[in-house]
Structure 1
C-alpha cells in the first residue's frame, strides 16, 4: 500500500503504542540517507543548468528541495509499505513471521535495480509490530525533461519511464507499478513455498485504516510537542550561546588590552636592559678614563718633580759659579800684558760663560714649552672631569627613571600574575618570530622571482 511517509517512525526515532520496543532490535535498516543530500545529488547539476538558461532572476530556483516541499503538485518523497499475511496467520513472533522476514529481505535486494527512477533513501523492515512489513521511501525522478529542470521530481513520469503507462482510473501508473511489485514479492515467496492468496480487493479494512490514522495523528502530536520543546530548548541554548559569545568577546578585549600593555611593558623592559647595558659600558669607560687620568696625573707629578730637581741642580750650578775656581777670573801677574791676560784668562772664561748661557737659554725655552703643554693638559683634564661629572649625573637620572619603570612593571606583574605575563610575553615573542619568519620567506620568494 501507499503510505504517507514518516521517517522518524520508520527509524524508530519515535515509537507508537503498537510498537513492542523489546523486539525493535530485530528490525532491519536497509538504508537511511539524508533526503536533502539526496536532492543535492540528484538535482544540483540540473538546477545549475536550468538557472543558467534563465534571463529573469525571479525565475531562478534557489533551493529545489524547498520548491518541491512547498509544491502542491509533487511530494518530496513517496512511501510504499509491503506486508506478507496478517497478525493471525503471519504474526511477527511466529515461525511464519520469521519466514516472511526472509522473503522481504530477499525482495529488497533487487528493488532498486528494478526501479532505477525511484531513488530509495530510506528502507526499514519492522519486526516489532504485529506483522512483518517493510517501509520503502523513495524520490521519483525523470531525466531529459523538456519542462523545468531536465532532471526533476515526477512520480508519474518516473513510473512511465519504467514502462507503466496510465490507462483507466483503476489502472493508473501507481496501481500498475504496485501490482508489478506484488508479483515480484509473490515470486520470491513462492521460492520459499509460500503462495499469494488474492482476496479480490486492494482495499484494507476500514477499521485498520482508521486505527492507523489515529496512531499517525498521535505520532504527529507527539512529534509537534517534541519539536515545540526542542524549539524552547534551542532558544535557551541560543540565548546562553549569545551570552557566552558576549562574555568571550569581553574576555578577548580584556586579553587584547593586557596583551598590548604587556607588549609595551616587554618593549620597555627590553629598552631598560639595553640602557642598563649602556650604563654598564659607560661606567666601565668612565673607570677606564679615570684610570688614565690618574696615570696622567702621576706623569705630571713626575714631570713636576723633574722640574724641581732641575731647579735644585740649577741652584747648585749657580752656587758653583760663585765658589768654583773655574769660574773665577784670576789676578794678572806682574809682567803679563793685557793682551796675554785677555787671551789666556778672560776669553776662555767668557767662552765657557757663553756656553752656559746658551744651555740655560735652551733649557728655559724647553721648560716654557713644557709648562705651556702641562697647562693645556690640566685645562683638558678639567674639561674632561666636568664632562664626566655631567655624564654621571645624566646616568644617575636615567637610572632613577629606569628604576621607576621597573617598579611599574613589577606592579603590573603583581596585578596580572607572573604566569599570565610570562604566557603573554611568550605569545608575543612567538608572534614576532612568526612575523619575522614570514618576512624572510617573502623576501626569499621575491629574490627567487
Structure 2
C-alpha cells in the first residue's frame, strides 16, 4: 500500500483566482478546462439567504441608529469576523501525485469523493464557492464557506457569522493555544480524507510539522500575504458590484424588450379602435339620413290637404259623420301614432350609438396618451441601457489594456483615498468641546441612518 501525505490549510480566499478569472504563472492554461466547479454563487446573495430574516427580527423595536441596514456591509467593514473563510486540501505533492499522472487522477477521484459529503457533514459552514484544480502542479481543493450559528442567545442577531461558534456547534470546543476549534476541525477533515484514501489503498503518511522562527524577510512576507488577502476580499466585493451592474443591464434590456412589445400591442389596439370609430361614423351618417327622411315625412304629413268626401244626395248628417268622416280621422290618427312611435324608437337608438361613439373616442384618446407615455419610458430606458453599456464597455476595455489586478488595485486605492479625505474632513468639522462633539456625533449618526434608509428605499423601488 502506497503512502501519501495529506495537506489541510487555510487559504487566501481569492475567488477570482479560484474561478480562473486571471491565469497565474503556476497555472497551465491547457489544463484549465479540467477543473471541476462544485459551487459558485454570489456571496451577497448567500448573505441574504442566511441572514435577511434574522436582520428583520433583530431590527424590531430598535432605534433607527441601532438597526442593521446591510449585514454584508457590516461584516465587511467590521473587525470581529471575516466575510468568508477558505480551506485547501491536497493529497501528496508534485513529485508523487502530480497532475496529469495516474497518481494525480487517483487524487482527483479521492478529493471528488471527499467533497460530495462535505456540506452534509458541515451544515454550519455554508459553501458558496468550491473548485477542484487540475491545472497546477498537484490536484487540490479550494473550499470557500460562510460560517454561521443559529439560535444564538447572546448579544446581537440570533443567526450570525461566527467561525468559532459554527465549529463549536459541530463539536469542536478548542483547547490550548495551537489547538483551536479551526485546527481541530481541519485535522478531523484530514482524518476523513485519509479514510477515503484507505479505501483506495493509500495510507496517510503523517509527518510532524511546526512553524519555525521567521526571519525578518519571511516575517514581512507573511504580513504582506495578510494584506494581499484583505485586498483580494475587497476586490471580490468590487467584482460582485460589477456583476450586479451587469445584471442590472440585463434587466433593463429585458424591460426595454417588454416595453416595446407593450407599445406594439397598444399600437395594434389603437388601429383597431380607429377602425371601430370609422365604422361608427359611417353608421352615424346613415342614422342622420334616416332622421332627415323622418323629418321630411313629418313635415309632409303636416301639409296634407284633407279632402273630405262629398255628401250624397239626401244623405243624413249622422250617416255622413259615422261612415265617412270618422273612418278618415281614425286612419289619420293611427298613421300619426305610428310615425311618433317610430321617431321615439329611432331617437333612442341614435342616443345609444352616440354614447358608444363618445366612449370609444374617449378610450381612443386614453390609448394615445398611454402610447406616448410608453414611448417616452422606452426612450428613457434605452438611454439608460446605452449609458450602462458604454460604462461596461469602458470597464472591460480598461481590464483588457491594464489587466484586472491593476484596475482593481487602482479602484481600491481610490476608495481608500476617498475614505481618508472623508475622515480628514470629518475631523476638521468635529467640535473641540466634548459636549459639542457628542451632539455633533449624534447628528452625523442620524444623517447616516437617514441616508441608508433612502438608499434602501431606492433599491427596493428599482427591484419593483
Shorter-chain TM band: 0.5 to 0.7
Tell whether the 8 Å contact from 1:16 to 1:219 is kept in structure 2 after alignment. Answer: no
Please give the per-residue CA displacement for 1:16-73, whole angstroms capped at 9, x wherever unaligned.
4543343333222223334334333333333333222x34232222332332222221
Q: Pairwise mapping of residues 49-198 of structure 1 onto structure 2 (< 5 A)?
A: 49-52=57-60, 54-145=61-152, 146-198=154-206
Bigger mean CA offset, 92-101 vs 151-160: 151-160
Residues 217/269 of structure 1: CA separation in 2 closer, same or farther (3 Å cut): farther
Residues 189/229 of structure 1: CA separation in 2 closer, same or farther (3 Å cut): closer
Query: Which residue of structure 2 aligns with residue 338 of structure 1?
Result: none
Residues 254/225 of structure 1: CA separation in 2 closer, same or farther (3 Å cut): same
In structure 2, C-alpha distance between the alignment counterparts of 1:258 and 1:45, rounded to whole Å: 50
TM-score with structure 1 length normalisation?
0.53
Q: Which of 6, 9, 33 in structure 1 is aligned with 2:17? A: 9
Residues 271/8 of structure 1: CA separation in 2 closer, same or farther (3 Å cut): farther
Please give the per-residue CA displacement for 1:218-262, whole angstroms capped at 9, x wherever unaligned.
999998998999899999999999999999999999999999999
Residues 215/195 of structure 1: CA separation in 2 closer, same or farther (3 Å cut): farther
Q: Which of 257, 264, 275 in structure 1 is aligned with 2:288? A: 275
In structure 1, C-alpha distance between the alignment counterparts of 2:149 and 2:137, rounded to whole Å: 37
* Consecutive unaligned residues in structure 1, runs of 5 or more: 311-358, 385-420, 429-449
Query: Which residue of structure 2 aligns with residue 412 of structure 1?
Result: none
Q: Pairwise mapping of residues 384-423 of structure 1 onto structure 2 (< 5 A)?
A: none
Residues 82/227 of structure 1: CA separation in 2 closer, same or farther (3 Å cut): closer
In structure 2, C-alpha distance between the alignment counterparts of 1:228 and 1:60, rounded to whole Å: 23
TM-score with structure 2 length normalisation?
0.52
Tell whether the 8 Å contact from 1:122 to 1:137 is kept in structure 2 after alignment. Answer: yes
Tell whether the 8 Å contact from 2:197 to 2:203 is kept in structure 1 after alignment. Answer: yes
Local SS of the residue matching 1:128: coil
Tell whether the 8 Å contact from 2:94 to 2:138 is kept in structure 1 after alignment. Answer: yes
How far is 1:293 from its partner?
4.7
Local SS of the residue matching 2:204: coil
Query: Which residue of structure 2 aligns with residue 333 of structure 1?
Result: none
Number of corresponding residues: 329
The structure having more radius of gyration, on CA atoms, is 1
In structure 2, C-alpha distance between the alignment counterparts of 1:110 and 1:78, rounded to whole Å: 19
> CA RMSD, aligned part only?
5.9
